[in-house]
Structure formats: C-alpha cells, structure tokens
C-alpha cells in the first residue's frame, strides 16, 4: 500500500504556542493549572496535559480564587476576562494571535461607525469569543443564504471579519454575496486569513489528486479537521475522520492502492504515526511525503513564560 502524507499537516503555530503555554505554566507554577475549555480541540492533547496536572474547566467558577488559569487558543469574551479579574485569577492568555487580530479588526470597524458581520459557525468557541470582544451588535453569517436575511440597509456602512478556521475558499462565496448586496463594505485582505487553515486545505486538495482514500487525523469537534474530510468528499475521494489508529476501519482502505493522510491543525504528529502503524498491521506500507509548503511561523509566548525551559 502506498501511503502519502500531506504537507503541511497537523499542528499550526497557534496550537504549538497554546500547548507550550500550558506546559510551561505547569513547570513554573506547579500543578494544578486550570484551563478554560479544551486548550485545542484534540482529545489526545487534552488527556496528555491532564496527566501533567492541567485541569480543564468550562466555567471560571470551577477554578479556586487566585488560581493560575489559562484561556484556550479559541479566545474568550470580555465578560470572561472581567470575571477572571474579579476572582483574582492569574490569567495566561493562550488565544491564537490570529484570533486576537480578528478581535482587533472587528473593534476597529465598529469604532469607525460600521456594522460588523462575522462569518463563522454558530456556537464555536472562537465565534463566542469574538462576538463577546466587540462592544456592539455583531451579525453572524454562516451561509450565503444568511446574507439575504441580514436586516441592514443596502447603503449602510458595513464590514466583515471571519472565523480563523475558515479558509479563503470557504468564505469567498459569502464575501462575494456581501459585496454584491452592500455598496459600502470593507473587510480584511485575504492574506489575513489563517495561513494554516488555507495551507492544509490546499494540501488536501493536492493529496486527493493522488489518493484513492484520504484519512484525516483529528477530533470530531475540530472544525478544521472536519473541513479537511469534507473537501475530500467534495472532490470525490472517500474520506474519513479518525482520532487515532484504533479508529481505523479496515474496510475504508480495502482495495486502495494509495492512501493519503493529513491531519487537522490541532492533531499531534504522534497520532499520524499511530494511524500509519495501524495501516502497517494490515499489510506492507510504502511511505512518502508530498511536496508542499514548509511552515516556519512561530508565535511569541507570554512574557512571564519566556524564561521557563520548554518541557522535555
């Protein structure tokens, strides 16, 4: 069986930073440290950090007053920040810098007298955080059809920002509809879209040109992992989402000469290797890595953690 790994795949810089913040916080302050929401959407990452002493909570009330508390990579609303301050929590903010950039863009558009339209998935933690960071109405748009139901005048000054786990390809239809409907509309440059989301989606499209089946390593609650699987299906290649090798169904790859593997931005490379091992148990594997973009972006850690030695 030919097995081709997508390039790039797996962890992005925002995820690496978020995990490192938890690990360095544990080294500096000792266990437990409290993490609001899953630090990233991956069960294996969460379980690994739990084993080191991280305690995952959904409400800040679950953390003792004064405790070291970390906000997840998805970002939080201002109300959460205020509650943390009122309870005297020592906060380390693991919000991805690209998510923070969206918050700043939305605030600036509102300050300049524009209505803010947010393109994204209702209920996603990033969306809840972004809507809660902007001190004014935010109009959520999930589909092109939603654009027609917006209760805004055609000539009203409007703006748009997008959820970072959506790519240029995913948002261009909605943005096109918005631009056709509104005469006074601004939005960020397409280069502001999350580089990791776009790169992984571009890579999986290339992978689909060579693979009979695509396996996407990632968690069911990972937006970007689900989207990678959907892209494979859209281009006509059977595609499956699995957290690790234990979830591999041999029927998925039965008769396949070439199996492509990619991973969502929150999936560790160890789980990709775990899936490859599961394939090897089915028969001989000839492994190769597809040509693709080499990502070199790194995000700075919070100042109080920079001097802490990284975990072994």
The reported pLDDT for the residue numbered 312 is: 60
Q: 17-68 pLDDT, tens per residue?
A: 999 999 999 999 999 999 999 999 899 999 999 999 999 999 999 999 999 9
The reported pLDDT for the residue numbered 101 is: 95
Q: CA-CA distance, 18 to 16, in Å (whole number)?
A: 6
| Annotated binding residue 202 | no
Structural domains in the chain plus CATH codes: 2-10+195-289 (3.40.1010.20), 13-97+300-305 (3.40.50.11270), 111-186 (3.40.1010.20)
| Annotated binding residue 42 | no
The confidence band for 110, taking pLDDT boundaries of 50, 70 and 90, is very high
| Annotated binding residue 61 | no
Q: Mean pLDDT across the stretch 208-215? A: 98
Q: 268-307 pLDDT, tens per residue?
A: 999 999 999 999 999 999 999 999 999 999 999 999 998 8
Q: Mean pLDDT across the stretch 66-95? A: 97
The reported pLDDT for the residue numbered 134 is: 97
Whether a cis peptide bond, with omega within 30° of 0, leads into 32 is yes
| Annotated binding residue 12 | yes
Is the pLDDT assigned to residue 191 strictly greater than 90? no
Q: Mean pLDDT across the stretch 64-90? A: 96
Is the pLDDT assigned to residue 177 strictly greater than 90? yes
Write out the two tokens for 69: 């508390």
Can you state the angle between helices 13-29 and 43-52, rounded to 10 degrees? Answer: 10
Does 126 qualify as catalytic in the annotation?
Answer: yes
Choosing from 38, 81, 126, 170, the catalytic residue is: 126
Is the pLDDT assigned to residue 192 strictly greater than 80? no
Q: The pTM is what?
A: 0.92
Is the pLDDT assigned to residue 252 strictly greater than 70? yes
Q: 90-100 pLDDT, tens per residue?
A: 999 999 999 99
């Amino acid at each position: 069986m030919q097995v081709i790994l997508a390039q790039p795949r797996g962890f992005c810089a925002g995820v690496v930073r978020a995990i490192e913040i938890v690990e360095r916080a544990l080294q500096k302050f000792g266990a437990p440290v409290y993490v609001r929401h899953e630090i990233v959407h991956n069960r294996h990452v969460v379980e690994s950090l739990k084993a080191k002493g991280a305690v995952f909570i959904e409400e800040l009330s679950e953390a003792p007053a004064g405790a070291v508390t970390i906000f997840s990579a998805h970002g939080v609303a201002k109300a959460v920040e205020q509650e943390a301050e009122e309870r005297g929590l020592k906060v380390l903010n693991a919000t991805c810098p690209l998510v923070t950039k969206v918050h700043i863009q939305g605030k600036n558009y509102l300050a300049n007298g524009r209505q803010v339209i947010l393109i994204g998935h209702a209920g996603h933690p990033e969306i809840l955080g972004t809507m809660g960071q902007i001190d004014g109405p935010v109009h959520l748009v999930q589909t092109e059809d939603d654009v027609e139901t917006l209760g805004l005048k055609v000539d009203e000054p409007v703006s748009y920002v997008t959820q970072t786990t959506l790519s240029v390809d995913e948002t261009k239809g909605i943005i096109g509809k918005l631009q056709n409907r509104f005469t006074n509309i601004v939005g960020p440059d397409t280069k502001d879209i999350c580089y990791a989301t776009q790169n992984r989606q571009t890579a999986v499209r290339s992978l689909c040109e060579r693979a009979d089946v695509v396996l996407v390593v990632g968690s069911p609650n990972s937006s970007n992992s689900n989207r990678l699987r959907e892209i494979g299906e859209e281009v006509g290649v059977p595609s499956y989402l699995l957290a690790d090798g234990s979830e591999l169904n041999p029927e998925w790859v039965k008769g396949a000469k070439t199996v492509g593997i990619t991973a969502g931005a929150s999936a560790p490379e160890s789980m990709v290797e775990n899936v490859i091992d599961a394939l090897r148990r089915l028969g001989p594997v000839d492994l190769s890595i597809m040509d693709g973009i080499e990502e070199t972006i790194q995000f700075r850690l919070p100042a109080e953690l920079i001097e802490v030695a990284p975990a072994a």
